[in-house]
Structure 1
């Protein structure tokens, strides 16, 4: 049985990003279905507060944010690689743009009235409003584009992606990389979950062909678990020993301090714990939960705020 456990739900674009990466690398994984909106008590038992989707669990180690999850999967199985040897920096910067600007623009477009009606048409009464309230709470003070502005920007971004694909199969060459999986996810949401508004993609057939190439990386989960069973896995495990990496102190907060970590903009729920690692790329908090036991919760440094309690 694989030790990779993905906590996700079917329509999450960021979960789709990781599902495609797992398929690309042919890594088997266990699936735990989680709610799309709060409350998420089983998720928070593992993370201590963070509740964005997805999270990756390996025993008692909990990895938050798809940027970090991609790095973990790359380390687990270096080939095929997510980082092109000659354009690693470009791939990371483009992936970050896709995870933030492109994603926000696409979602503002996708949730126009026709799209929302299609998404929530079969949902229980009141779910659409509960979803909107939940995302508003997670978003904090982050501004949201109007549909008209999002439509204009989305069209431009699709044309730019099409230009990048004119002479190559993928965004940074002829093999997929981090940028491809990040950019694919919000476009997948448009194409698959809100087909009533997916006509915006038709003006860029090169992008549609690229999406078909990305969709070819497909793989079913190795098995399914209940969230309570995943918590039991964490409780029975010990966090993986931390790598001997240089402590990078940019905050004046020593290791061993009680700290809070939360996202810069969207997903402001904080995780509190003992700071046990702060490296060039990531932060690690040790925390103890009544159900999950002692866990290490890992975050990327970029996009997250570290504060002393």
Structure 2
């Protein structure tokens, strides 16, 4: 198998989700650190403009969005599973809630409190903080905007609900072992925990704090640093994997047509290419870049919009 090349930055909560999945599945990986804000020239050469973090690269195949990345890692290392059959439906649904609703409760809770921002962006100059704010203003797209008071009240209620899910012999949200729901909820609360000045809200949920300690103990397994230039070379020297999947056409668009794919919530910059895959849960386009060569960029179907050019 080609190297698992992971494009991320340290304080990215969604990156922590995947880093912990690497740890759970004992998968070695290559670490490519990217800027937290645009421009990201090496990554853009691979993705064609997708700007969310993180991104997983396997040779000349580029996987966007952690929901899809988790599926890919499950295929590579089926055990231990992220999707126990007896709870798969509810686990995926809870994970989707965490990655959207819970995440967009945590973000205003943290970033509308100046003391918390210092924890997340510690050491940043006023110019860097201004650049970060400008980047995120354009990044938000259609994401909901709520006040810090609304975010605090909602987060307290969500913590109460999550606290109730743990106990009575359950060490994790849905059973004795972690599943995709645990990793999705964990990365949101990990981000709250990093904002030390406002992290005391977690003290309201002691069982949840013990669960977070168990999740943190999973770690990130083994990884080695890789430069962005080395990642580009890995893409140039590889060919995209053969696609052998049933075509599920709900768009009235044929394979081989030029399309754009973009998130529907935030970071909505479109990626343009030739449609080469549309399955029940995945979309993909082939594109060529002078730096990256020919790559196939993959997206989950849920949360993304496909349009014919």
Q: TM-score range by the shorter chain?
A: over 0.9
SS in 1 for 2:218: coil
Query: 1:34 Cα shift?
Result: 0.1
Q: Is it true that 1:173 corresponds to 2:175 in the alignment? A: yes
Normalising by the residue count of structure 2, what TM-score does the alignment of the two structures yield? 0.97
Query: Residues of 2 paired with 1:285 and 1:222: CA distance?
Result: 29
Q: Is it true that 1:147 corresponds to 2:148 in the alignment? A: yes
Query: 1:220 Cα shift?
Result: 4.7
Residue 229 (structure 2) aligns with: 228
Residue 288 (structure 1) aligns with: 288
5 Å-filtered alignment, 1:1-309, equals: 3-111=3-111, 112-167=113-168, 168-191=170-193, 193-242=194-243, 244-309=244-309
In structure 1, the gaps of 5 or more residues are none
SS in 2 for 1:69: helix
Contact persistence 2:240–2:295 (CA under 8 A): yes
Normalising by the residue count of structure 1, what TM-score does the alignment of the two structures yield? 0.97
Superposition misfits of 4+ residues, deviation over 3 angstroms? none
Query: Residues of 2 paired with 1:171 and 1:121: CA distance?
Result: 32
SS in 2 for 1:188: helix
Query: Residues of 1 paired with 2:214 and 2:294: CA distance?
Result: 41
Query: Residues of 1 paired with 2:35 and 2:106: CA distance?
Result: 22
In structure 2, the gaps of 5 or more residues are none
SS in 2 for 1:280: coil
Query: Residues of 1 paired with 2:62 and 2:220: CA distance?
Result: 23
Distance 1:77 1:133, change over 3 A: same
Query: Residues of 1 paired with 2:19 and 2:66: CA distance?
Result: 11
Contact persistence 2:259–2:275 (CA under 8 A): yes
SS in 2 for 1:126: helix
Q: How many positions carry a matched residue from both structures?
A: 307
Query: Residues of 1 paired with 2:216 and 2:105: CA distance?
Result: 22
Please list the CA deviations of residues 88-128 of structure 1 after superposition, one character each: whole Å capped at 9, or x if unmatched.
Answer: 10000000000000011011111122211333341133111
Query: Residues of 2 paired with 1:227 and 1:61: CA distance?
Result: 15
